[in-house]
A and B are shown apart, each in its own frame.
Chain A
Amino acid sequence: MAGSLLQVEGVETYYGNIRALNGVSVSVEEGEIVALIGANGAGKSTLMMTICGSPRARTGRIVFAGTDITRLPTHEIARLRIAQSPEGRRIFPRMTVMENLQMGASLDKLKYYAEDAEKVFSLFPRLKERINQRGGTLSGGEQQMLSIGRALMARPKLLLLDEPSLGLAPLIVRQIFDAIRELNRTERLTVFLVEQNAFGALKLANRGYVMVNGRVTMDGTGRELLASPEVRAAYLEGGRH
């Protein structure tokens, strides 16, 4: 599929001698929401971090918007407008909400900072109420919103989300998923998200991939995967959120 926004081809990633990704190929088209689901330890987060260059892929190729980013350092990958809301959110705990957002806007030297901040606040009004509060004192859901908001401040072409629903109340998860859908619809923002919450993620996504033990075992549209008996048996039965 030439012309994909993000193209991951046969990537293998190792932690020391342990192979975490075993020939993974994934592609994300412009304007799509793509979900990657799988169990704990399947290598979902590793794939996300490999796209960002840390750890680096040992073999294979990662191409973003025509540029080979396989060997680029993380900060240069980010400068190509791949923004990430990483696993564990990783907001800056001692900095205020506003400062966190400002850090996200450092790529453009704060040129569109005020305007983009307002956009984030209209997406997540809760953040505006907490504007001068320290990141570390926010609730888990607010931290997740801040993490996504900070990523959006970079005006990304591709937004990577690592488990945005982790540890959050169902109501908050719905708010966050709604916000992602909204962004995709109004701004045509391309989103690649990793989720354990397979039901929610596949309902949100246009397409999905299923990962088992460092390999992609299935792919299809969100609807197809939701209907597939294997996916239902492995990830959905008894786990309907």
Chain B
Amino acid sequence: MAAITSTAAPAGDNLLARALREAFYAGLIALGLFFLLVGIKTDLNIRNQLILVPRWGLLATVVALVAAGRFVTVAFIHPAVERRKAAAATAPVVQREPGFVRRNLAAIAIVLLAVFPPAVMYVSGLQGSLKWIDNFGIQILIYVMLAWGLNIVVGLAGLLDLGYVAFYAVGAYSYALLGTHFGLSFWILLPAAGIMAAFWGIILGFPVLRLRGDYLAIVTLAFGEIIRLVLINWREVTRGSAGISGIPKVDFFGWFTFNVSDPNYIAKVFDLPVSGVYYKVFLYYLILLLCLLTAYVTIRLRRMPVGRAWEALREDEIACRSLGINTTTTKLTAFAIGAMFAGFAGSFFAARQGFVSPESFIFLESAIILAIVVLGGMGSLIGIAIAAALMIGGTEILRELTFLKQVFGPDFTPELYRMLLFGMAMVIVMIWKPRGFVGSREPTAFLHERKAISASFTKEGHG
């Protein structure tokens, strides 16, 4: 936004006066609104009585921020937006050839992601890189994979699934239980967890075959809750809310492991200093590969009959049937394949944490994954990856913003405002880009030439 404000030159006295006036009113409204909400806090004193604690300083900060925000909006942002609109209206429409970065976006992104861990280790040292690789890299990539998996169900097949996290849980618990009880290797259990989750995807798919839209959403939501409640209450197997700990780590195909006590611990094999970073780096590349697998499968499937049937199903179920498409199997494959990727991600999650409990599989997780898919632009892999990086990376960044304590006082913990910012970001994106970051859909059928179709052609009134 700073870039926009700096270009605002012809701001007359009139405009400034109006901006000041509006800022004053906005401040007044904020004062009225936040007087009780922020300015006064109820608390218990030492004798257990309810007392009021005034927080005038915080109230003043909030009101000042609102007023300043209004001033900047009216004085600088609005005129700049108007000028831009005017410029866009007069400028001729030119079809620009997409640049080098645009055309090779996927390849560049993959290369950047591949060199991320060594780069971070070089910049911030072995120990310092842990946070970036684990909290940022792995965390974001898990959500990218989950969102890409859900994208098959929601973005391509158009089946609104609010209980996606259930399959994630199935994958995680499959690995946790089979790994701790039978000592099976991750490499056997990864496909097993995927198959298990796909199986549950079909189990969910059958009863909801006839449902669409809101009704489907409610049933899938309930399904997610059922799985979570089973995990909490089936104590003999899942150990309830206590969760399962001591889940074995992933090894490198038996060549070396990441347990310090093992004879073939990686540091001993390669004569390196002992550190936890190796495991994180390994996990980072593992989840990166799993993500790429998801993307590859999705791209391939879109060009195959089943993928085209998914998209047609999203558009019009009745037309699909009249074209000879079996909608039952089409829906079930969408549920099963989407669930399978959640199962992969789940077993990876269990291996990374070393601990699973029902806490990790609450409805909020489903909501976040769905939000990522919607924000990214349903069906677009790149858009979804960007959305995941912003949403998950953004909330992690909040922990780093310690300077905010100087503004809002020492009690201020920015990560508590995560959901507020999350919601605000969603509202803003949906106003500016109602079809998500990447709203255009890449066509898969061509007679002769290949041409992308921009989002501006897609705003049809569907009748």
Interface: A75 (CB within 8 A): yes
Whether B460 and A99, one on each chain, are in contact in the complex, defined by CB atoms closer than 8 angstroms, is: no
Q: Which residues of chain B come closer than 8 Å to A84, judged between CB atoms?
A: 322
Whether B312 and A132, one on each chain, are in contact in the complex, defined by CB atoms closer than 8 angstroms, is: no
Whether B321 and A93, one on each chain, are in contact in the complex, defined by CB atoms closer than 8 angstroms, is: no
- Name the residue on B nearest A81 (C-beta): B324
Q: Which residues of chain B come closer than 8 Å to A106, judged between CB atoms?
A: 305, 308-309, 323-325
Name 12 interchain pairs, CB-CB below 8 A, sorted by A: A74-B322, A75-B320, A75-B325, A75-B327, A90-B316, A94-B460, A99-B308, A101-B445, A102-B445, A103-B320, A106-B305, A106-B323
CA distance A134 to B441 in the complex (A): 10
Whether A96 and B453, one on each chain, are in contact in the complex, defined by CB atoms closer than 8 angstroms, is: yes
Whether B319 and A78, one on each chain, are in contact in the complex, defined by CB atoms closer than 8 angstroms, is: no
Interface: A14 (CB within 8 A): no
- Identify B311's interface contact among A73, A95, A104, CB under 8 A: A95
Whether A92 and B319, one on each chain, are in contact in the complex, defined by CB atoms closer than 8 angstroms, is: yes
CA distance A124 to B186 in the complex (A): 57
- Identify B321's interface contact among A74, A101, A131, A133, CB under 8 A: A74
Question: Which residues from 85 to 101 on chain B have a C-beta closer than 8 Å to any C-beta of chain A?
Answer: none
The majority secondary structure among interface residues of chain B is: loop
Whether A103 and B443, one on each chain, are in contact in the complex, defined by CB atoms closer than 8 angstroms, is: no
B445 to chain A, nearest CB (A): 4
- Identify B447's interface contact among A107, A109, A117, CB under 8 A: A117
Q: Which residues of chain B come closer than 8 Å to A86, judged between CB atoms?
A: 318-319, 322
CA distance A83 to B321 in the complex (A): 11
Q: Which residues of chain B come closer than 8 Å to A73, judged between CB atoms?
A: 321, 326
- Name the residue on B nearest A89 (C-beta): B319
Interface: A25 (CB within 8 A): no
CA distance A93 to B441 in the complex (A): 12
Whether A78 and B447, one on each chain, are in contact in the complex, defined by CB atoms closer than 8 angstroms, is: no
Given contacts A86-B318, A90-B319, A104-B323, contact A134 B457 (CB under 8 A): yes
Q: Which residues of chain A come closer than 8 Å to B324, judged between CB atoms?
A: 75-76, 78-79, 106-107, 154
Interface: B315 (CB within 8 A): yes
- Name the residue on B nearest A105 (C-beta): B323
Question: Which residues from 433 to 463 on chain B have a C-beta closer than 8 Å to any C-beta of chain A?
Answer: 441, 443-447, 449, 451, 453, 457-458, 460-463
Q: Which residues of chain A come closer than 8 Å to B443, judged between CB atoms?
A: 95-96, 98-99, 132
Whether B458 and A134, one on each chain, are in contact in the complex, defined by CB atoms closer than 8 angstroms, is: yes
A192 to chain B, nearest CB (A): 14
Question: Which residues from 252 to 309 on chain B have a C-beta closer than 8 Å to any C-beta of chain A?
Answer: 305, 308-309
Most buried by A among B327, B445, B460, B463: B445
Interface: A234 (CB within 8 A): no
Interface: A136 (CB within 8 A): yes
A90 to chain B, nearest CB (A): 4
Given contacts A114-B447, A132-B453, contact A78 B315 (CB under 8 A): no
CA distance A76 to B312 in the complex (A): 17
B326 to chain A, nearest CB (A): 5
Q: Which residues of chain A come closer than 8 Å to B461, judged between CB atoms?
A: 136
